[in-house]
Structure 1
Amino acid sequence: MRILGIGECNDLAAMHAGFVRRGHEVKVFVEDPASHDVHAGLVERVDDWQRELDWVREAGEDGLVLFESAVKGELQDQLRRDGFQVIGGCALGDRLEGDRAFGQQVLRDAGLRTAACHAFTAYEDAMRFVREHPARYVLKFNGANSARTRNFVGEMEDGSDVLAMLGLLAARRRDEGVVDFILMEHLDGVEVGVGAFFNGEAFLQPAVLDFEHKRFFPGELGELTGEMGTIVSYQGARRLFDAVLAPIAPLLREGGYVGYVNVNLIANEQGLWPLEFTSRFGYPGYAICEALHAESWEAIFRRMLRRDGRRFATHDGFACGVVLTVPPFPYAYGYEELGKGMPIMLRPSVTPRDRMRLHFAEVAYVDGQLVTAGSTGYVGVATGIGTTVQEANENALRVARGVVVPNLRYRRDIGERVARSDLARLQSLGWYDSATSLRTHPHPAMA
């Protein structure tokens, strides 16, 4: 295949590198200058994606344009109208993720209940609201590219900590333009995501469950990073898929969506409470899902584009992903001094199979040495698989321990809460049943 990747930070670098290893032609356009060195020496980067369109078109059915983010949907729609094969999303997908109020309305229209959600464009208005309606809230900024570290999950039942945070943001505000955020009612329960690939007409099966771990430190302490690790499984997702994703298929079809879509939600005794859309590949979710794929990405993509089947082969069990970082992750400032350019080494114990379970992100190959690159210190993700969550975690940590980088950090507890309580509670609520999973292949060897 000929694959042209378009994105801001080369977040799909590990996927592109896999295409290259399997003999495909790959070129990548990276918009952010701070990320131009991501996978330098590993994948070819181009400065003008438009000049490469003829190169893609010449490949016919083997030509693909692949988007990594949920901010260029209109461009994707236009390329499809121009006859190109595109996977990523669409303008509708951008709005589903970036405009949280719209996403919540879509889910309400699909028959789901949603938490009370209040939109604001001024900190002072939000502060007045919290004073008048004291409660526990979650502060989330709109926009698919908004920094997850700016979001804040309130702990105080009267909302006083959220009120204080809003006051700080108002005092520190500079020339950032119009702010755009929501205050969402806080909900208790099992946080779980359900996702699937949509081919423009219908969803492919099976769907996947994911349990994200967003905080920087074990025990869910510290900054909201976006993601420090995740447990995924293609078992037992059918009930959540039928309730959450299946009802929005007509809307996605009308919008011309082609790509992966996920809804994160809370499940409790009162029902399902959807929180937000991810209308793109999740990071590092796509790499963790790959550990359970019995087919390559290009095989799955061909099936989506040609619409010649609505299933792809997966393995039983669970996959665990552990995100590897160096300082100052999850922040960007100070990276040049603290973490950029650090040598990345692999212990002799790392096997070829282990190496395939290492999905490097912000790295480059310089003078024969793999080094940290990019803008934040996101080194990559180590994955492991197992018949249980615990086994998947152990295998992921074994792979992670094989990576040697100065000041490398990662969480060791990815999946502990899932194994201890989340899966059992989700099953007791009627939303998980591994006995009815869509299994197609036996579990791969753990060696």
Structure 2
Amino acid sequence: MRFLGVGDTNDLAAMYWGLARRGHDVRVFVRDPAYRDVFAGMLTTTDDWQQELGWLRAAGQDGILLFEGATDGETQDALRREGFNVIGGSAFGDRLEGDREFGQAALRAAGMRTAASHVFRDYAAAVDFVRQHPARYVLKLNGANALRTRNFVGSMDDGLDVIALLQHYQRAQNAAPDAADADFVLMEHLQGVEVGVGAYFNGEVFLAPACIDFEHKRFFPGDLGELTGEMGTIVSYRHSRRLFDTVLAPLTAALRDGGYCGYINVNLIANEAGLWPLEFTSRFGYPGFAICEALHLQPWDEIFGTLLGKQELTFGTRDGFAAGVVLTVPPFPYSYGYEALSKGLPICLRPGLSQADASALHFAEVALEGGQLVTSGQSGYLGVATGCGPTPSSANAEALRVAQAVAVPNLRYRRDIGDRLEGGEWARLQRLGWLGSAGPQTA
């Protein structure tokens, strides 16, 4: 088969690498120059993905375009109209993720209640709003490529910390005349269990099974520090039926009409008052794709064939849980100073690493130079170590064992992935009726 990957930062590099090692012909386009050394010496890249379309079309049904992000939806729609096999999203999917209020409206149209959310394009107006309506708020930037580290979860009941941050952002914008216009939402803060539900949509219906996930977004153990996007996650393909039926299944008609084809996920808060959707991920999740892969019984090429063939509506998955532990080096989650601190560092693997353990290492910002694996890219996101087990803690223990095989200066990762799940969150979700009767110990 032939695969053409298109994205900004080569986020699916580990997936492409796996496809290439299975004998498929893979070419990758990386839009951002700062990431064009990701998997250098390991993958075949192209400077112009559109020039590769003839090569891809010559493969017929065995040619697949993979789009990584949630910003190329219109292009994907056009390519599908031209007869190409495209997996990633659509223009409708881009808007679900990038325009938060649009996404919330789509969820309301599908029958869900949503938390109060207010759209702003002016920091001063947002400050006035919080002063008039003091409460705890979550600030989230609009745009699929918005920096996650600039989002903020307020902790003060009167909103004073949110006001202070908004004023800081206003001063920074005033000091940079070419700064982008403000575009963000303030959402009512919700207490409860954070859980996601995701599945693959084939353009007409969802494939089964769906998965549930529990992200750990803060940089430090104990959920302290920056919002990084994701420092680790617990995933299971079991126990998802009611969440899927409540959240994703009602979106089927809208996704079909919107030309969507690919993975889609909704992040939620569950509490005694109900289920509250927070945001869409209308694309492959990072590092979600690698963590899900640990539970797949089939390789990606076969799953993609199922997705595009529209004949089979299921794919094989393992029982239990998968854990992903994100491996980073300084200055992650920022890019400032990476050249001086960590770029080009040698990455060594300890002797005795089994083939299975090597497969559980999904590298990201790395390159191969003279036979030596080194850090590359822009931010120090080294990759993710995965592990499986009958419980979240056993899966995390496996992921940590794999992570310990990696030796690189100043390697950092969290060791507590899944702790809060077994510390009460799973039981709470069970009491609320969102999971099956089986506990995490039986999966």
Query: Structure 2 matches for 1:250-329, cutoff 5 A?
Result: 250-329=253-332
Q: Verify the 8 A CA contact 1:79 1:86 in the aligned structure 2.
A: yes
How far apart are residue 378 of structure 1 and its match? 0.3
Partner Cα distance (1:246, 1:384) in 2: 29
- Given residue 188 of structure 2, which amino acid in structure 1 is its aligned partner? E
Q: Verify the 8 A CA contact 1:235 1:434 in the aligned structure 2.
A: no
Give the match for residue 343 of structure 1: 346
How far apart are residue 435 of structure 1 and its match? 4.5
Partner Cα distance (2:93, 2:358) in 1: 34
Partner Cα distance (1:212, 1:193) in 2: 8
- Given residue 140 of structure 2, which amino acid in structure 1 is its aligned partner? K
Q: Verify the 8 A CA contact 1:236 1:436 in the aligned structure 2.
A: no
- Given residue 3 of structure 2, which amino acid in structure 1 is its aligned partner? I
Give the match for residue 206 of structure 2: 203
Q: Give SS of 2:428's match.
A: helix
Stretch of structure 1 that moved more, 341-350 or 180-189:
341-350
Quick check: 1:224 aligned with 2:227?
Answer: yes
Query: Structure 2 matches for 1:373-392, cutoff 5 A?
Result: 373-392=376-395
Query: Structure 2 matches for 1:2-401, cutoff 5 A?
Result: 2-173=2-173, 174=176, 175-401=178-404
Partner Cα distance (2:66, 2:425) in 1: 34
Q: Give SS of 2:179's match.
A: coil
Partner Cα distance (1:53, 1:172) in 2: 43
- Given residue 74 of structure 2, which amino acid in structure 1 is its aligned partner? E
Q: Verify the 8 A CA contact 1:193 1:262 in the aligned structure 2.
A: yes
Partner Cα distance (1:51, 1:107) in 2: 38
Partner Cα distance (1:179, 1:65) in 2: 33
How far apart are residue 434 of structure 1 and its match? 5.6
Q: Give SS of 1:145's match.
A: coil
Partner Cα distance (1:436, 1:429) in 2: 13
Quick check: 1:427 aligned with 2:441?
Answer: no
Q: Verify the 8 A CA contact 1:322 1:411 in the aligned structure 2.
A: yes
Q: Give SS of 2:382's match.
A: strand
Stretch of structure 1 that moved more, 214-223 or 417-426:
417-426
Counterparts in 2 of 1:89 and 1:370: CA distance versus 1, 3 Å: same
Q: Deviations over 1:234-288 (max 9, x none)?
A: 0100000000000000000001100000000000001100000000000000000
Partner Cα distance (1:177, 1:12) in 2: 28
Give the count of matched residue pairs: 439
Q: Verify the 8 A CA contact 1:360 1:379 in the aligned structure 2.
A: yes
Partner Cα distance (1:358, 1:177) in 2: 37
Stretch of structure 1 that moved more, 428-437 or 224-233:
428-437
Partner Cα distance (1:436, 1:96) in 2: 33
Identity fraction in percent? 66
Partner Cα distance (1:413, 1:268) in 2: 23
How far apart are residue 155 of structure 1 and its match? 0.2
Q: Give SS of 2:201's match.
A: strand
Partner Cα distance (2:438, 2:408) in 1: 42
Partner Cα distance (2:439, 2:27) in 1: 41
Q: Deviations over 1:166-198 (max 9, x none)?
A: 011111112223210000000000000000000
- Given residue 122 of structure 1, which amino acid in structure 2 is its aligned partner? D
How far apart are residue 25 of structure 1 and its match? 0.3
After TM superposition, the score normalised by the length of structure 2 is 0.98
After TM superposition, the score normalised by the length of structure 1 is 0.97
Which structure 1 residue ranges, 4+ long, deviate > 6 Å from structure 2? none
Partner Cα distance (2:99, 2:424) in 1: 32
Q: Which runs of 5+ in 1 are unaligned?
A: none
- Given residue 89 of structure 2, which amino acid in structure 1 is its aligned partner? G
How far apart are residue 349 of structure 1 and its match? 3.4
Partner Cα distance (2:59, 2:110) in 1: 39
Q: Deviations over 1:41-82 (max 9, x none)?
A: 111010000110000000001000000000000000000011
Choose from 395, 405, 408 the match for 2:408: 405
How far apart are residue 222 of structure 1 and its match? 0.2
- Given residue 359 of structure 2, which amino acid in structure 1 is its aligned partner? M
Partner Cα distance (2:134, 2:53) in 1: 54
Q: CA RMSD in A?
A: 1.2
Q: Give SS of 1:194's match.
A: strand
Q: Give SS of 1:187's match.
A: coil
Counterparts in 2 of 1:434 and 1:86: CA distance versus 1, 3 Å: farther
Q: Verify the 8 A CA contact 1:68 1:88 in the aligned structure 2.
A: yes
Q: Deviations over 1:122-151 (max 9, x none)?
A: 100000000000000000000000010000
